Amino acid sequence: MRVVKVGGSLREAEALMQALAQSAGSLIVVHGGGPRIGAWLERLGFETRFHQGLRVTPPEQMEVIEQVLTQTGKVLASLLTRFGREALGLSGRDAALLKARPKDAALGRVGEVTAVNTALLEALLEAGLTPVIAPIGMDEIGPLNINADTAAGAVAGALSAPVVFLTNVPGVLADPTDPNSLYPELTRAEVHTLIQNGVIAGGMIPKVKAALAALEAGAPWVRIASGTPAHARNALNNTSGTRIIP
């Protein structure tokens, strides 16, 4: 079993879901939705702000964000089913799948996972279904917007399962301008050193921090790889991207 995090763009979703559907073994898919969320918020006249790489989520925007994420999950689940892997779109609301707490008052309704209903996920996998999870958490007040990388890492850690982050880069690079400078494997300590030395910078920092958090939570390893369909197949076969180990 592996947890796979995919982006929320539906542009290449059909080819990517076909690649995932044809992969061997059980999968749990966690997805994002950033581009579609941004488009809907703009369409409805809401301002979009980010703080430390996370979308600031005022309570009045939470309903829109939840609707977009939930619909995205249903679309991805239907594509997986069409390609032969029966899937079920879920939200963290369902059966208290993702319990959460607010992360930082400055972020509004942005959360971090405190508990995962692993029994639900294991039951679905046992029934031959692939869970497709929209990263919505719940606290005693209501829904929370959770970063998809963070949510995937929390699910993987709770299940002691490896996690593959499919992203817009081929993995961790020694030189961001040279795709041939890929690190095939890094330890937790090496990642910290590369961050301190400025080799890992910018948008890669949240990704590797989510990877380290997944390891801390119990995932045996994490792979960061390109989310293009061809590379995704290779990543699921452990032949592309950067593997991060404890």
Task: Tell me how many domains the chain contains.
Answer: 1
Read off the CATH number of the domain in which 12 is found: 3.40.1160.10
Write down the pLDDT at residue 96.
95
Q: Which of 34, 38, 142, 218 is catalytic?
A: 34
* Cα angle value 141/213/7 (rounded, 5°): 75
Write down the pLDDT at residue 221.
96
| Stronger pLDDT, 231 or 87, i.e. the higher one | 87
Residue 2 is assigned to a ligand binding site: no
Q: Which of 32, 111, 207, 227 is catalytic?
A: 207
- Domain hosting residue 88, numbered range: 2-245
Assess whether 139 carries a catalytic annotation.
Answer: no
**Integer Cα distance of 87 and 77 in angstroms:** 5
Assess whether 8 carries a catalytic annotation.
Answer: yes
Question: Which three-class secondary structure string do you get for 73-142?
Answer: HHHHHHHHHHCCCCEEEEECCHHHCEEEEECCHHHECEEEEEEECHHHHHHHHHCCCEEEEECEEECCCC
Q: Which of 108, 149, 153, 241 is catalytic?
A: 149
Assess whether 128 carries a catalytic annotation.
Answer: no
Side chain identity, residue 197: N
Beta-carbon neighbour count of residue 56 at 10 Å? 18
Residue 108 is assigned to a ligand binding site: no
What are the tens digits of pLDDT across the range 173-213?
999 889 889 999 999 999 999 999 999 987 788 889 889 99
What are the tens digits of pLDDT across the range 120-172?
999 999 999 999 999 999 999 999 999 999 999 999 999 999 999 998 889 99
Assess whether 207 carries a catalytic annotation.
Answer: yes
What are φ and ψ of residue 107, in 5° steps? -95, -5
Place of tokens 């990704």: 207
Residue 145 is assigned to a ligand binding site: yes
Q: Which of 5, 7, 137, 171 is catalytic?
A: 5
Assess whether 5 carries a catalytic annotation.
Answer: yes
Residue 34 is assigned to a ligand binding site: yes
What are the tens digits of pLDDT across the range 73-121?
999 999 999 999 999 999 999 999 999 999 989 999 999 999 999 999 9
**Over pLDDT 90: what percentage of the chain?**
74
pLDDT band, very low/low/confident/very high, at 8 (cuts 50, 70, 90): confident
